[in-house]
Amino acid sequence: MGKYVLRRLLHGLISVICVVVLVMFLIYSLMNREKIFASDSAYTKQNNNSKVTYQYQKWEEYGYLDYVPYSEYLDGLVSSGALDSQTRDAVASIGRTPDKDSEATAQYVQQFTEFYESQGYTVDRLDAITSRSGKLVSGGQQTLFAHRDFPLLRRAWNYFVDMFFIDSVNYVPEETDIGERGITFTWYDPVYGGEKFSPAIIGNGTYHRYLLYFDDQFPYIHQNLLTIRLGTSYSVNRGVDVFQTMTQSQGAYVLSTLTFPTGLTEESADDLHTATYMSGSRDMNTLNRQRFTDDYTNVETFKTGMSKMGYSFVIGIISTIMAYVLGLPVGLAMALRKNKLLDKLGTIYIVFIIAVPSLAYIFLFKAIGGSVFGLPTMFSTDSASKLMYVLPIVSLALPSVASLMKWMRRYMIDQMNSDYVKFARSGGLSEGEIFSKHIMKNAIIPIVQGIPASILFALTGAIITERVYVVPGVGNQLTDAINKYDNGVIVGVTLFYAVLSVVSLILGDVLMATVDPRISFSTKDR
């Protein structure tokens, strides 16, 4: 069994990788990249050459290609010591056309071209666009740059390598002076004033300040040593990782009296445990200077609401439980009273749910729930009322109830007509015994297989339900990302879905094998 699961996991891992490569191909190679400018007002204001460079800058930010302007190349030479800044200034400005370059400039332009062309880049030089009087037109500045599309496999490789981020003391660049690098362990967490007993591991030189700490939030012990990065958002939630977007709490700030590292005591919602390194952030900001003693200033905040995934999961899991609690007994009862009133009513319900567009019945329930029962039809993170959960949960449970009813009835009827039931009856077993010990046990097996999937997929949220009731969940993340060409998020969310689906299928098979001893996955047992 263990071997089999391992093999399945390995197989699943390969297909997940293929899915990611395929999705990358779809969004980076197939999709028309001009479309990202369709609703970009800054783009329409650009003209001539600057429009072209603006395009390449944006494409680099969206992750399509690597874009190197000539000046960036010179800056690189300066910081590596191959060029002094006086020469840089002298050769940085290129002529309006190549033949107007000064001799030194021409030499560096030549060097730039050769260096990047040897690496497979395309080097483009756009000559100045001038009006008849010899003046530059708007955006007509001459420019020189190199660009290269990321090869698909390299992109996928980099993605998987960067996915697991292990924090180390060498995170902060070597030339930065941040005092002694190292990891220290303390029994008394300085965030709590250094007197309360609370073990913590603190790093200096690492990305996260606190690598391990305790607090009063679930699950009470937190680590930052290993972080999962699914992909950085560009347009939806700028610079924030998908995984963080999904798990970050939302809503209004929770203020508490907080003592900052400088000793400043203030009402603040900052969570000092989440401090991360941001180069030069202390010097740039007076507020940071008052609060922090070093560059570990980037903190998250405490908020009243749950995370996106939290809301989706709460709604999803309750509706799943409801669906099983309601759907299975009703399906059973329908099978027992085949062709009676209950069976017919149940069948009408099933047909209604399967055939009618889900949008239609969700709106119908919203209208009924709002007007007849007076339930809140809009979700709000500020509201403490638990009633706002009712309609989303009911709307989400409706289709699952129908499909569970349908399958339970089908499996029960199939089992009731099989030969072993007739044999058991002829053997003198009571109907109750046949029912509970034979039919039920066999009918439930295929149902059991679907349980892990329905629990895990509660994590992904529901697109329509969340949209209709304005639930701040994860359901709309993918559609939002697609609409805004947020490629990093699309890849991240797809990967998350694919992993869930692989894991839930394996768990389903394992669960089925535990319930039914006849099913065996190891070839040896047969």
Partner 1 sequence: MEKIDLSALGMSEEELFSHVDHSKAESEKITAPRYSYWHSVFRVFFHNKVNIVVLALLGIVLLLAYVYPAFVDFDRYANVMDGTAKHLSPAAAMKAYGVNIHTILGLGGNGESTWDSIWFGSRISISLAFVCAAINMTVGVLVGAIWGFSKRVDMFMTEVYNIIGNVPYILIISVMIMLFTSSFWTMVFALTITGWLFIAYFIRTQVIIIRDREYNLASKCLGTSTIKIAMKNILPFMTSVIVTQLATEIPSYISYEVFLAYIGMGMGEMSLGRLIYAAEGAMVTPGWEFEFWSPVAIASIITVVLYVVGQNLGDASDPRTHM
The site for partner 1 (CB under 8 A) is made up of 11, 15-16, 18-19, 22-23, 26-27, 30-32, 35, 351-352, 354-360, 363-364, 367, 463-464, 467, 476, 478-479, 482-483, 490, 493-494, 497-498, 501-502
DSSP letters spanning 441-460:
HHHHHHHHHTHHHHHHGGGG
Spatial contact of 457 and 422, defined as CB atoms under 8 Å apart: no
How far apart, in whole angstroms, are the C-alpha atoms of residue 266 and residue 257? 6
Instruction: CB nearer to partner 1: give 82 or 378.
Output: 378
Residue entry with tokens 């992109």? 155
Directed axis angle between helix 341-355 and helix 308-336, to 10°? Answer: 140
The count of other CB atoms within 10 Å of the CB of residue 400 is 20
Instruction: CB nearer to partner 1: give 284 or 356.
Output: 356
How far apart, in whole angstroms, are the C-alpha atoms of residue 205 and residue 276? 10
CB 32, min distance to partner 1, A: 6
CB 482, min distance to partner 1, A: 5
Q: Pairing between strand 164-166 and 182-186?
A: unpaired
How far apart, in whole angstroms, are the C-alpha atoms of residue 454 and residue 475? 15
Instruction: CB nearer to partner 1: give 226 or 351.
Output: 351
Instruction: CB nearer to partner 1: give 282 or 406.
Output: 406
CB 83, min distance to partner 1, A: 43
Instruction: CB nearer to partner 1: give 330 or 502.
Output: 502
DSSP letters spanning 152-199:
HHHHHHHHHHHHEEEP-TT-S-TTS--SS-EEEEESB-GGGTTTS-B-
The count of other CB atoms within 10 Å of the CB of residue 153 is 10
Plot region of 196 (φ>0 → left; ψ -120 to 50 → alpha; else → beta): beta
Instruction: CB nearer to partner 1: give 82 or 364.
Output: 364
Give the list of residues 6+ apart from residue 523 with CB closer than 8 angstroms, or none: none
Instruction: CB nearer to partner 1: give 27 or 242.
Output: 27
CA nearest to 276, candidates 208, 197, 366, 372: 208
Structure token digits, residue 212: 């391990």
Point out which residues pair with 267 in neighbouring strands: 257
Structure token digits, residue 54: 């603006």
- Tally of CA atoms within 13 A in the half-sphere of 27 that contains its CB: 26
How far apart, in whole angstroms, are the C-alpha atoms of residue 523 and residue 46? 66
CB 354, min distance to partner 1, A: 7
CB 23, min distance to partner 1, A: 6
Instruction: CB nearer to partner 1: give 27 or 272.
Output: 27
Structure token digits, residue 18: 């293929």
The count of other CB atoms within 10 Å of the CB of residue 229 is 16
CB 457, min distance to partner 1, A: 13
Instruction: CB nearer to partner 1: give 424 or 482.
Output: 482
Spatial contact of 202 and 209, defined as CB atoms under 8 Å apart: yes
Point out which residues pair with 212 in neighbouring strands: 201, 223
Instruction: CB nearer to partner 1: give 32 or 118.
Output: 32
Spatial contact of 233 and 239, defined as CB atoms under 8 Å apart: yes
Q: Provide the terminal-to-terminal Cα distance of the chain, rounded to the nearest Å.
A: 13
Instruction: CB nearer to partner 1: give 212 or 498.
Output: 498
